């Protein structure tokens, strides 16, 4: 039986085409997808699509958008062999990370893609990205999908979604997965990196829908003032903080700074130590500037990205985890998002 795929078009640059009369860029109508990309008809797949209304620039992505996306996949899960999500690139790494947490026991491909140039532009990178994403979402071996996880396909590479960052606003090569090898590389052949791809567990999909947004990201910089740190840590209702530290998880040793963190942890607000680097891992205790952070109870994020840490924290808090259990889960890979 040929693979059946659901394309979910959410918005972003990829879907833009030129209006014949005005020449202005506007979102394409999904019904016209075969007209715009007749090459899709050459695939031996059953391809169906749905489009979000309204279509959004991904800067407007919100928790309700993520839940809606997860619900669409959940309610169509049995009907299709794989899913392709057309999404703006700006927050694609956040959305792919979040979907990886919301879709527990995912055993089918959910492939995000987009483009830097609109589909309606002759030189677009969208056509290749889309076609390869479709092929990867449909790929099966002995009846089992080859990539049963949430991934991003961009510019010849398939990456684990919760390991990526958008690092370039100009090049076609817009995403990086600094701490995890590509799941596949695409040239003449699609070469799957089978050792890196998550294995299916054949359990029933569970769609999570509760997210808690009472979190903050505090990025350190030399010269950060006490009032900035205290304002962020003092936010009413705050339950978790992602502290973006330097290098291997290092931070200033000033007394006021350590006291502010200690006081925050005492109020049962979890502080997740995530590095500002795009590659490498937090190792509290490696340098003198991080020993105290471990001692006062910061939770090390290992090599997790800020995008993935944000998604994971909203997800775990939404599921009601607190205290030691929350700390434990933050340090445990749940969907391949970190190397502990």
Among 10-18, 28-36, 148-156, 311-319, the segment contacting ligand ASP (CB under 6 A): 10-18
332 flagged as catalytic: no
- For ligand ASP, the binding residue among 6, 8, 13, 284 (CB under 6 A) is 13
| Pick 57 or 226: Cβ nearer ligand ASP | 57
| Pick 95 or 273: Cβ nearer ligand ASP | 95
What is the number of the residue whose Cβ is closest to ligand ASP?
88
Interface with ligand ASP includes 90 (CB under 6 A)?
A: yes
Whether 176 contacts 164, CB under 8 Å: yes
| Pick 114 or 336: Cβ nearer ligand ASP | 114
- Residues within window 106-125 making contact with ligand ASP, judged by CB under 6 A: 114, 116
**Strand extents, DSSP E, 197-269:** 206-207, 215-219, 240-245
Whether 245 contacts 273, CB under 8 Å: yes
Q: Which residue, among 77, 82, 84, has the nearest Cα to 133 in the 3D structure? A: 84
Question: Least distance to ligand ASP from the beta carbon of 83, Å?
Answer: 19
Backbone angles phi, psi at 231, to 5 degrees: -65, -45
- For ligand ASP, the binding residue among 58, 97, 164, 179 (CB under 6 A) is 58
- For ligand ASP, the binding residue among 30, 66, 81, 89 (CB under 6 A) is 89
Interface with ligand ASP includes 57 (CB under 6 A)?
A: yes
Question: Least distance to ligand ASP from the beta carbon of 292, Å?
Answer: 39
Query: CB within 8 A of 62, min separation 6: which ones?
Result: none
Taking the CA atoms of 58, 62, 63 and 65 in sequence, report the sign of the dihedral they define. Answer: negative
Interface with ligand ASP includes 88 (CB under 6 A)?
A: yes
| Pick 11 or 109: Cβ nearer ligand ASP | 11
Among 6-14, 239-247, 264-272, 316-324, the segment contacting ligand ASP (CB under 6 A): 6-14
Interface with ligand ASP includes 12 (CB under 6 A)?
A: yes
Question: Least distance to ligand ASP from the beta carbon of 117, Å?
Answer: 9
Beta strand 82-86 with 140-141 is unpaired
Residue 54: Cβ within 10 Å count: 9
Question: Least distance to ligand ASP from the beta carbon of 170, Å?
Answer: 11
Cis before 54? omega within 30: yes
- Please work out the total of residues on this chain that contact ligand ASP, with binding judged by CB under 6 A: 11
Is residue 84 within a helix (H) or strand (E), and if so which, with residue range? strand 82-86
Q: Which residue, among 194, 252, 193, 261, has the nearest Cα to 221 in the 3D structure? A: 252
| Pick 114 or 182: Cβ nearer ligand ASP | 114
Whether 216 contacts 270, CB under 8 Å: no
Which residues lie across from 303 on neighbouring strands?
A: none
Task: Give the whole-angstrom CA distance, residue 224 versus residue 214.
Answer: 22
Binding site for ligand ASP (CB under 6 A): 11-13, 57-59, 88-90, 114, 116
- Active site residue ranges: 13
């Amino acid at each position: 039986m040929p693979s059946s795929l659901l394309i979910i078009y959410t918005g972003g640059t990829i879907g833009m085409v030129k209006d014949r009369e005005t020449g202005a860029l506007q979102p394409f109508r999904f019904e016209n997808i075969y007209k715009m990309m007749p090459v899709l008809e050459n695939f031996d797949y059953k391809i169906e699509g749905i489009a979000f209304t309204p279509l959004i620039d991904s800067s407007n992505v919100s928790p309700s958008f993520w839940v809606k996306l997860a619900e669409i996949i959940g309610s169509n899960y049995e009907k299709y062999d794989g899913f392709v999500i057309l999404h703006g690139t700006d927050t694609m790494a956040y959305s792919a990370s979040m979907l990886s947490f919301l879709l527990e026991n995912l055993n089918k491909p959910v492939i995000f893609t987009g483009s830097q140039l609109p589909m309606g532009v002759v030189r677009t990178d969208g056509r290749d990205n889309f076609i390869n994403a479709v092929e990867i979402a449909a790929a099966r071996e002995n009846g089992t999908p080859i990539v049963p996880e949430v991934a991003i396909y961009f510019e010849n590479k398939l990456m684990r979604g919760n390991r990526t960052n958008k690092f370039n606003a100009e090049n076609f090569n817009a995403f990086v997965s600094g701490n995890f090898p590509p799941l596949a590389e695409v040239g003449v052949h699609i070469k799957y990196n089978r050792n890196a791809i998550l294995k299916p567990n054949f359990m029933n999909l569970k769609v999570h829908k509760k997210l808690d947004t009472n979190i903050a990201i505090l990025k350190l910089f030399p010269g950060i003032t006490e009032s900035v740190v205290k304002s962020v840590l003092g936010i009413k209702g705050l339950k978790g903080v992602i502290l973006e530290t330097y290098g291997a998880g290092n931070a200033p040793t000033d007394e006021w700074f350590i006291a502010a963190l200690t006081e925050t942890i005492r109020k049962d607000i979890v502080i997740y130590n995530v590095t500002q680097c795009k590659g490498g891992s937090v190792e509290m205790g490696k340098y003198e500037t991080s020993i105290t952070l471990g001692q006062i109870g910061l939770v090390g994020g290992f090599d997790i990205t800020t995008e993935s840490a944000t998604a994971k924290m909203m997800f775990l808090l939404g599921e009601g985890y607190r205290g030691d259990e929350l700390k434990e889960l933050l340090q445990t890979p749940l969907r391949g998002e970190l190397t502990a």
